[in-house]
Every structure is written in C-alpha cells, then in structure tokens.
Chain A
C-alpha cells in the first residue's frame, strides 16, 4: 500500500543541523501515511521516513540561494530541514503535509488502515495479551477489603473510567454514586495499587466539588472505607499534586480540595506539580535549546535552566517517591488527585507503583502499568498528543514526562529494568503514531465506540516480538531489587540526549555499549547452540 505516491518531488536537499551547503540532492515522496526522502547520491542509498501523524508543524522558511526551505517539526522531536528546488513543488508539499498531518476524524487515523499480514485470531489474541484482572489478582484482589466491581459497566458512575474498577468492599452503591456526584467528572476514588506487604493502598480520584464549604457524606464515607481497609495505619494521606495556589483558586469555581476537618483521620498535603500549560511551554523552551546550532556550554545550561524542564521532572519524581515512601515506610494508604485526575495523578501513581513493585519493571508489567494507569483510567491521549486537529491548549507532554522519569530511574538503577531505553522510545513513538489502537481516543468508552478492538491492532504483541533488541542486557532479574529508592537531589537528573536530540546522531556516543552487549549476548546464544 506504500507503493502509491501521492506526490513525488525531485531536486530536494535534506540539510543537517549545520545547514552545510554540501548536502546532496534527493527525491521526496509522499504516501498516504509517510513522507519518504531518498538520497541515492552516495554508494549506500539512504532513506528518511517520517510518519505524517508524527508531524506537529510545517513551516515555510524564507527563500535562500539554495531554494525554498521547509522546516518540519515532529512530535518525537525529529526536526527535518528540506530545501526544495521549485517554489510550486514546495507549496504543494507544504499544503499536502498540512492536510495529511492534521486528520479531522478518528477514522482517518493510521490504525484503521494499518493492515499487517495477520490472522483474525492473532489480532484478537493481541488485544487479550494484557488482562488487568490478572494484575489485581497478583495484588490479592479480590480480597476481604477490596473488590472489582462492574458498577460502572454502563458508565453511570464515571464516563471516563473503565467499566470495571476496584473499590473497598465497604463502599455501598449509594456511597459510590454519592461520591461520584461530589468529584469532578465523576472520577471517584478507586484503587490503583495495593501493597500486599502491609495492605497500604494507593488510590486515585479527581478534585472534590467542595468549593469553600460544601460537604458530601458519601464521599467522606468513601475515604473512610479506604482508610479502614488498611487497619495497619490509623490515618491516610490525601495528596493534591497541584500547587497550593491553583488548588485554592479552584475553590472559587466550586471545586478545590479536601478539608482535613471534614474527613476523619486524613493528613492532607500539596505536592506542587505545575499544570499542562506550564509543561507545554517548558517543553517548547527545551526544544528551542536542543535546536540551537552551536551553543556554548553556558548557552545550553542557561537555556536548560530557563526551560524549567528538569525542575518539573524532579517534581514528578519527588511526588512518586513520596507516595512510595508513605505506602512502604509509613504503611499509610494514599489518595492522590490533581484537578481531573488524569494527568499528574496518572504520572505519580504509575511512578510510585514502579518504585514499589519490580513486576512493573518487566516488559509485561510495564505494559500492564500503562494499560491500567494511563489507558484504562482515561488519560486523554488523543487531546494531549494532538492526534486530531483540535484545541492546541489541550496538547501537553504529560506522558513524555512519565517516560523520562522511568529513564532517569534506569540511569540510577541500570540493572533493575528488564527493558532498555529503546523500549521506552518505541512506546513513546507509538503513542503519537496512531498506528495501533491502544492510545486512540480519550477513554475506554471512546475506544469502544470507535470499535478499536475489532478494527485495529494492539501495540503490545509487536513490541514483545522484538524483545531481543529492546531488552536490557544488564537486567539482574525480578528478585534482584525490590523497591527502588532514587536519589532526587538535582544533580541526579541528566539531560536525556537520546530523546530530545535523538536524531542528531553526531551528538551521541559513536559506539554503543548497549549494542555491544546485546550482540555479545546474541553471540553467546549461537555459541551455546554450537556447543550443544
């Protein structure tokens, strides 16, 4: 299906970051799904592929002596600088790319036309690969205190939650329904992770519609039920991941946060992670730093500081560490929320789970974690990643920050993840690629309505097939490390060149330790076969 070219343009140059005039001329092709640039001038034919869905912006730059420049920025931080010989051609490519990169209807997304050679059964099996019920079983649920309920099967409780959620057994239907009327978008407190060792529970929800003085008996009973499900600790934490000022401002709009006086035995805490608009702006500034042509060390470090990016990463990490510590050391259950409970809440709950439980550091476990805390619990991937032509103010690198936190952990604990950086980058690419159905839409109901499970493929089997290249050769196994306790002093955070300057090959080490070790392992396997 890629044999059909919508457009073919000769005499196109692809410039590197130093815009050297020696760049060779090649041919640009547009297909229904990709932009393909072919440089056949050297001995080895070189192809550069860009998925239309990955394109976040196309700009025409001022005319130069070499021709008509087109600058393409991608959501995976690839920056391609083309110079096209003819103005007409440049304009054609520009308008085509604008249209191709901004689909309007979900049906236009790649996942609905992506059709690899695979049997119907295999495709269906792919969707069944990750079963969240098994993960709850692993935690011991259902048990005396917690149950998996289908009370939300028709989305009566919450339209953005999955049909099945985990709530305390002691929470009656009335309590659940009452609480849902008191929480923003009906996102009631539900279980995210149960720490079997001491029964402390990590739960999540959205902000209460408390305003300045409103109360809700059922919501108070809901929190009481959560607290009492953990008899090992007399109190529970309620953590609001927003800065105090923002949370307080929400009260004027009839929302806000929990009043310690109204809820028995809670300890309330603000963590102070900034909102999606601040994060969008921060990333923008970071990318500007990454694109600087030949910055001095000072330019770079000052730019990095001014972007605030690592400050935000640290804030998310600190929150995850706090939650994990509360559960593990203080044996206290924690209820986490932000505003709507689908951005910062998702970040910190998934991070805390990763810190506590080595299962989530395996291939399968990580997939489960994403399916549970991000996909099922309604992180608005479609809006946050700009899948369709929509409101630019909804776009924000929330998932990117989570992936980076995982990478930062890999730097501190090189032997504790079954997978490598490459796995993270693949997932990140596909969150934006819309090639697979997992990340389409904004919640489970969306996906059901779009009939994702019938019409598209799941990403996970495709990644599992490539385990050998995506694995971490230094992984010491499931039992080697239990919980991770990262150092979060500022110097512990590194700039992730492999993500934000991924396509600037010159900046990366010229020899890859990862590649060296993987090839050594592959060689060992062939030797083992020979010996046998």
Chain B
C-alpha cells in the first residue's frame, strides 16, 4: 500500500549493523528521523515493518528494547514512527517478550520499555518468552531424556516435564496467537520486542505470520518468511547454531531458538495438516542446515557479515538447490489444499506432542512411518490420475457427440 516506503538508510550497515540494507518503514518517517530512532533502540534496531495484514490494514512491527534508561529518556521520532501505524483514534499493542520486572530492571543498564506517558495510544502486554540460554539447557535435557534406555515410564515423563521444552513450545505458540489476535481480532497494530530483538522477537513475529498469512504456508512463502524474519532480520545463526545438544563445552551464545520456531510450525502443521504446502521433512531440512550446511545461506550472523564474507559470490544458496523440481517433490505435502484462512492452533497440553521427527529420529525405525507416507502419497496420486483420465474420457465423449451431430446434419 502507499502508507509504507522502502528505506536504504542502512545500506552500508552503519545505522544498524544487524539489519539488512533495505527496510520497510512508514512513509511519513524520513531517513534522518530513522537515524535518531536507531540511537534510541538497542543495537540500533529501530522499529520496522514485519508484516502487513491485508484483510484489515493492520501492521506488525518489530524492534529491540528502547534505551529509556533510569532517566526516562524519550525519542519523539520513535514515538512518531510507531504512532504512524495507528489508525486515527485506535490503539496499538506493544508485546514485550520479557516479564515486567525484567523490563523494569533493564533500565538500570540503559535499556527499558515504552512508558505509557510517552506512548499513550499503546497498551503494553508482557508475554514472557524464555531467554535463549534457558532454551539451550532445556534442549540438552530433552535430548538426554530421549536417549534414556531404561524402561521406566515415570522417569521418562518426569524428565520430559523437567526439561520444560514443551512448556516453551506452549508459551511461544501462545505469544504468537496473542500477536495474531491483536492484529486480526482486535484490529490493532502491534510492536513486538524483547531485549535485543534478535531471538524471541523473531520467533513471535514469524510464527504470527504462519497463523495469519496463508502465503507463509506455501513453500516459497515459507522460504521468504525465513529469509525475511530470520536471515535478513539478523538472527545470530553463527552464534546460536554452533554446537547443538551434544557439545561438551558450554557455548555462551548457543541456543535452539530457530529450532523452537520450526517446531512450533510443526505443531501447527499437525493441527492443520491440509494447510501447509510443505511437509515435515522440509522443516527438518532447515533445522539441519541451520547447524551444518554445504550451503552459505545460514552462515554468519546478519547481512552485514554475509556481505563481508562475500557469501553470495563464494557459496551456493540452499534455496537454489531446494527449489529444483526433483528436490522439491520430496518436501511437498500431498494433502495440501490452499485456503485463505487465519488458523488458530490449540495450546492445550493434549494438543501438543513431542516432535518425534527431530527428537526420536535415531531412536526408532522410520520404515513404518515412511511406508505410511508412501500410502498417503499414492492415494492422492491415484485420485489425481483418475481425475485426469476421466477428464480425457469426458472430452472424447463430448467430441464424439459433436461429431455425431455434425454427421447427422450432413
């Protein structure tokens, strides 16, 4: 629409080192203002457009925490920027992925949150998403539980519960539903941020788009989502996906943030099996390549680093390989039926299951599940072949009938 514009203020990565060269901002905000806003946000990550909901024109923005500090600093340009996304007289929501007390304590270190007095049209909601180092501990505990060979049911359930992994899944899904509800049901614009704006923020915005936007559920759309909301948005893949769950040394920056997002997509996929063009294998593929890949796509921590490493020149893109027809066919969901719905997942514990495809992948034979997949594909394929055959026969019948008519006329 014409309320937004592309800004190249960051084209040499000087305004925000972790942002891409081009971002989308409200039209009424010029580049000078953006520079000022960047000084007011942690790491220079000023609010940018993440998603525009065509249905009602509402927007989802993301950023990092404002640097209000203990003095209650304000930045009029920042206020103007996010207010520009509001319809007249309407409110917006700020979804802060930190608990209130953490957000308050952040002021002591120069950070903070959007104060009501300066942002009167915005209502702040704190929806806590776990910090990334907690996620890593959780991940390690879960993998350890899955490797436990003792035939003790109580111990398994106890370890599963203690890992808290499924709790994180539930919390992230709930937060994404919240953001999506604000946009779709409340008809309000939303700003999402945590501390740095590079982990939980991206989890929430990308997952909310899965809920809201059917295009994100197509293969190309999902690839674009990952590129936009994770790679270009500056999620530090290099730091987060260095070692995974078996590493001996404790990596300070390591965390399965992207995996948690992929698993939430899988949970939604399980609940809406006909709404995704891709299948589970696609998600597993992305998980693998985020950690170790012969492609350059997931290398580096942001676009700036990728440009410095000259990745586009020196490496191949995962997408160029995956999108080849012979590869893509492996990742297609045979029962996909395109729809234009907003899909709301259930976050009841009974609705969430352990992602066996990742966590029990090597602990159980896959033969029987693969055969089931083959059957599913065959059923759909046979149906399509029959449909094609019937169409041909119908056409032939129609032709014969018109020929017959012509003959009669003669």
Say how far B363's CB is from chain A's closest CB, in angstroms.
Answer: 7
Q: 0/1 per residue, B124-167, Cβ < 8 Å to A?
A: 00000000000000000000011001011111111011001011
Instruction: Verify A497–B351 contact, CB threshold 8 A.
Output: yes
Asked if B156 and A491 sit within 8 Å, CB to CB, the answer is yes
Q: Does B270 contact A (CB under 8 A)?
A: yes
Interface centre among B155, B270, B369, B379 (most CB of A within 10 A): B379
Is B346 an interface residue when CB atoms closer than 8 A count as contact?
yes
Determine whether the beta carbon of A305 is less than 8 Å from that of B158: yes
Q: On chain A, which size bracket covers the interface?
A: 35 or more
Contact A517 B349 (CB under 8 A): no
CB-CB nearest in chain A for B341: A510
Q: Is there a chain B Cβ closer than 8 Å to A521's Cβ?
A: yes
* Interface 0/1 of A483-521, CB less than 8 Å to B: 000011111111101000100101111111100110011
Q: How far is the CA of A489 from the CA of B360 in the complex (A)?
A: 11
Q: Which of B155, B271, B335, B382 contacts A490 (CB 8 A)?
A: B155
The yes or no answer to B408 lying at the interface (CB within 8 A) is no
- State the 9 A-B residue pairs at the shortest beta-carbon distance, nearest first: A490-B156, A300-B349, A414-B372, A305-B157, A301-B161, A527-B386, A311-B153, A474-B375, A297-B167
Name B's interface SS: helix
Report A417 CB to chain B, min CB distance, Å.
Answer: 11
Tier of interface size on chain B: 35 or more
Query: Is B368 within 8 A of A414, CB to CB?
Result: yes
From A487, A501, A520, B380 is in contact (CB under 8 Å) with: A520
Q: In the assembled complex, which residues on chain A have CB atoms less than 8 Å from the CB atom of B54?
A: none
Partner of B390 from the list A299, A490, A491, A527 (CB cut-off 8 Å) is: A527
Which of A446-489 touch B at CB < 8 Å?
Answer: 473-474, 476, 487-489
Docked Cα-Cα span, A310 to B156, in Å, equals 11
Q: Which residues on the B side are within 8 Å of A302 (C-beta)?
A: 157, 161
23 pairs of residues in contact across A and B, judged by CB atoms under 8 Å: A295-B349, A297-B169, A301-B157, A301-B349, A413-B368, A414-B369, A414-B375, A415-B372, A487-B365, A489-B156, A490-B151, A491-B146, A491-B156, A506-B346, A509-B272, A511-B274, A511-B275, A513-B335, A516-B335, A520-B379, A524-B383, A531-B386, A531-B393
A19 to chain B minimum Cβ distance, whole angstroms, is: 15
List of A residues within 8 angstroms of B387 by Cβ: 527
Which residues in window 298-345 of A have CB below 8 A to B? Answer: 298-302, 304-305, 308, 310-311, 314, 318
Give 9 A-B pairs besides A296-B349, A301-B161 with Cβ atoms closer than 8 angstroms: A300-B350, A305-B157, A415-B371, A474-B376, A491-B145, A497-B350, A527-B387, A528-B386, A531-B389
If the complex has contacts A301-B166, A510-B271, A520-B379, are A489 and B363 also in contact, measured as CB distance less than 8 A?
Answer: yes
| A530 contacts chain B at the CB level, 8 A cutoff | yes
Give chain A interface residues in 277-304, CB to chain B under 8 Å: 290, 294-302, 304
Chain A residues with Cβ below 8 Å from B145 are: 491
Does B250 reach chain A (CB closer than 8 Å)? no
Looking at chain A's contact residues, the main secondary structure is: helix
Contact call B346/A297, Cβ cutoff below 8 A: no
Interchain CA distance A412-B383 in the complex, whole Å: 26
Which residue of A has the minimal Cβ distance to B389? A531
B22 on the A face (CB < 8 A): no
Write the B351-362 contact mask toward A (1 if CB under 8 angstroms, else 0).
Answer: 111101000100
Contact between chains at B382 and A304 (CB < 8 Å)? no
Judge whether A517 and B166 touch: CB under 8 Å.
no
Residues of A within 8 A of B161 (CB): 297-298, 301-302, 305
- Is A138 part of the binding interface, using a Cβ–Cβ cutoff of 8 Å? no
Residues on B with beta carbons closer than 8 Å to the beta carbon of A297: 161, 164, 166-167, 169-170, 349, 352
A499 CB to nearest chain B CB (Å): 11
Report the nearest B residue to A473, measured CB to CB: B379
Which residue from A298, A311, A412, A512 sits with its C-beta under 8 Å from B154?
A: A311
